[in-house]
Structure 1
Amino acid sequence: MRLGINSPVVTAVPGVHSPWERTAGIEELGAVAEAADRLGFDHLTCSEHVAVPVDIARQRGGTYWDPLSTFGYLAARTRRIRFATQVLVLGYHHPLALAKRYGTLDRVSGGRLVLGLGVGSLEEEFRLLGAEFEGRGAVADDAAAALRASLSNREPAYHGEHFDYAGLVVEPHAVQARVPLWIGGRTPRSLRRAVAHGDGWVPFGLSLDRLREMLRAAELPEGFEVVLSAGRPLDPSGDADRTSEALRKVSDAGATVVSVVLSAESASHYVEQLEALAVLAGTTAATEARV
């Protein structure tokens, strides 16, 4: 089981983000990324929303840093950690636009891209962007298949129901032969979509019992990633027992990768929490750092 970080600062979800994040900027985020990279954590995340209606922002937050520009900056300050979009809404983009933009990110980061993808649920944002809300699942399926065919190819070709193209050059393109695609969602259909088109599943809003049930019912391919959240913010330096228990529970539920949110009072405290978590989890890089 590997540990990734739900990046602080880049979102401000009520009840989840810490007060220090409200005034933090790219320097604080960069310091966190450098520490996570040094300590051997698997990935950092960044979500996507273009514009959130004011009434909805009161519930799910209105701060969402753009993942492409954010990760482009962090790529220059790190060496090993991966960058996971969690998630890009497929209906907002043409697959070739994603292949060019995020293929370039894969190139400049040295092959550290993980594309987290989702169908989307915010109807107002779909309408704002001129994207079709009804039928978005079928569009997402076709877009995911098109992305798989296009991300790592200089001359991509795809012929599907919603996307059809050939005879084009997309350069630069991703340097990974197979960019990992993690599909988000909370329904059996999202898991089927992940198995059909992706390399992992990133569920949300489901109990651990429900997750176990869904995973037992699915036939997962070899190497398929199950990316689960450890739940409410962890305090590894202040409550190591609860932190260990939270990690154990998601591991027992079937996680191969766990994304964590950490409780902290400042960017420097966040780095201390990362160090405590790395020791607690026994990451290879943390062990190397102590030698």
Structure 2
Amino acid sequence: MVLYGMQLPVQSQSTLYAEPWEAAAGPGDLVEIARTADRTGFEYIATCDHVAIPRRLASAMSTVWYDPVATLSFLAAATERVRLLSHVAVVGLRHPLVTAKQYATLDHLSAGRLVLGVGAGHVPEEFEALGVDFERRGSVLDETIDALRAALGPDEFPSFRGKRFAFEGLGQRPRPAQPRVPVWVGGSSPAAVRRAALKGDGWLPQGDPRDRLPAQIARLKELRTEAGITDPIEIGAIAEPLYVGDAAWDVGRRTLTGKPDALAESLRAYGAMGVDQIQVRFRSRSRSELTDQMAAFAADVAPHLNSQEYGNGQA
């Protein structure tokens, strides 16, 4: 069954995807969007993670990157069922006990709705400022995931010993509400796919086009089989930008737009590849247009994502 979630607007405003209206938006807009997602059946809402953006990248990335733990905790109080995903937390920038304290508290406060998405990061200056070796960020992330598995487990006094991190006899409460916090690994490089296959409960590819996804999924499954891992893994995909209905404005040539049956048929291709959840993004000119698009998608497109008998159109 293919589920759907979304990266929240406003909380990160890279020029690659932010809409103009987001520049003047704030907490109230985030709450309304999160409540719409909660009410209309979205599986998760997601936030990004950057500590600080260097001046050389600020014009493209902007410096608007809300803290994921603070943002998801704020939105947890305004929602009831939607899962709360960090997509992705650059956990190698912080000691795993610090990360565990933050996200265990979030899971506790939200009654077990956390999905911890993790990634290696890509901005050297952030690592340098925080005293972390950028060139070894992959191996740092590998060990950090292992340390977080221990620190987010059921034991009040977790223990772990690795090359960089070691702890024992140190208690942390509150514990997560979930017996096992799911860890989804982000990234599409060969190293990231291997990391997801060997260490993840889920995989969050970063912008793989449709024609590349089947080979990536096959490789991920092959790696798990070779390692003797039989547990299921949740496979994600980021869909093309969407606009439900006939837009009266230019939504861009890459945007999937049109009648709900055509959109549903197009998006069902992800399920055929073996994708379990798609991350959707809607073109919009205002918060109200965005929440209208979310509601239209949930009502008219989402119910047919798993049906092979609905529509013959092409998006």
* Range with greater deviation from structure 2 (194-203 or 92-101): 194-203
5+ residue gaps, structure 1: 285-291
Report the Cα offset of residue 49 of structure 1. Answer: 0.5
Match of 2:244 in 1: 236
The reply on whether 1:214 has 2:233 as its aligned counterpart is no
Match of 1:192 in 2: 194
Report the Cα offset of residue 265 of structure 1. Answer: 1.8
* Whole-angstrom CA distance in 1 between matches of 2:124 and 2:18: 25
Report the Cα offset of residue 123 of structure 1. Answer: 0.7
* Whole-angstrom CA distance in 1 between matches of 2:209 and 2:93: 29
Would you say the 8 A contact 1:148–1:197 is kept in 2?
no
1:258 is paired with a residue whose SS is strand
* Whole-angstrom CA distance in 1 between matches of 2:280 and 2:266: 10
Would you say the 8 A contact 2:201–2:234 is kept in 1?
yes
* Whole-angstrom CA distance in 2 between matches of 1:254 and 1:229: 13
The equivalent position to 1:164 in structure 2, one of 163, 166, 174, is 166
Q: Could you tell me which amino acid in structure 2 is paired with residue 236 of structure 1?
A: V
Report the Cα offset of residue 210 of structure 1. Answer: 2.3
| Higher RCO (CA-CA < 8 Å; seq separation 6+) | 1
Match of 1:288 in 2: none
Would you say the 8 A contact 1:99–1:173 is kept in 2?
no
Identical-pair percentage: 38
Match of 1:254 in 2: 274
* Whole-angstrom CA distance in 1 between matches of 2:198 and 2:288: 42
Match of 2:185 in 1: 183
Match of 1:289 in 2: none
* Range with greater deviation from structure 2 (233-242 or 36-45): 233-242
* Whole-angstrom CA distance in 1 between matches of 2:24 and 2:91: 31
Match of 2:85 in 1: 84
Q: Kindly tell me: are residues 243 and 62 of structure 1, through their superposed partners in 2, closer, same or farther at Cα, counting changes over 3 Å?
A: farther
Please say which structure displays the higher CA radius of gyration: 2
Structure-1-length-normalised TM-score: 0.92
Match of 1:35 in 2: 36
Q: Could you tell me which amino acid in structure 1 is paired with residue 238 of structure 2?
A: S
The reply on whether 1:49 has 2:50 as its aligned counterpart is yes
| Deviant stretches of 4+, over 4 Å | none
Q: Could you tell me which amino acid in structure 1 is paired with residue 175 of structure 2?
A: H
The reply on whether 1:225 has 2:234 as its aligned counterpart is yes
Match of 2:303 in 1: 282
* Whole-angstrom CA distance in 1 between matches of 2:35 and 2:239: 22
* Whole-angstrom CA distance in 2 between matches of 1:245 and 1:161: 49
Cα distance per residue 1:155-199 (max 9 Å; x no partner): 111111221111110111211111110101111221221122220
Structure-2-length-normalised TM-score: 0.85
Would you say the 8 A contact 2:105–2:174 is kept in 1?
yes
Cα distance per residue 1:215-264 (max 9 Å; x no partner): 11333544201111002x21124323563354223333332111111112
Would you say the 8 A contact 2:242–2:280 is kept in 1?
yes
* Whole-angstrom CA distance in 1 between matches of 2:204 and 2:73: 23
Would you say the 8 A contact 1:6–1:259 is kept in 2?
yes
Report the Cα offset of residue 40 of structure 1. Answer: 1.0
Q: Kindly tell me: are residues 79 and 203 of structure 1, through their superposed partners in 2, closer, same or farther at Cα, counting changes over 3 Å?
A: same
Q: Could you tell me which amino acid in structure 2 is paired with residue 215 of structure 1?
A: I
Match of 2:105 in 1: 104
What is the RMSD of the two structures over their aligned residues, measured on CA atoms?
1.8
1:209 is paired with a residue whose SS is coil
Report the Cα offset of residue 55 of structure 1. Answer: 2.4
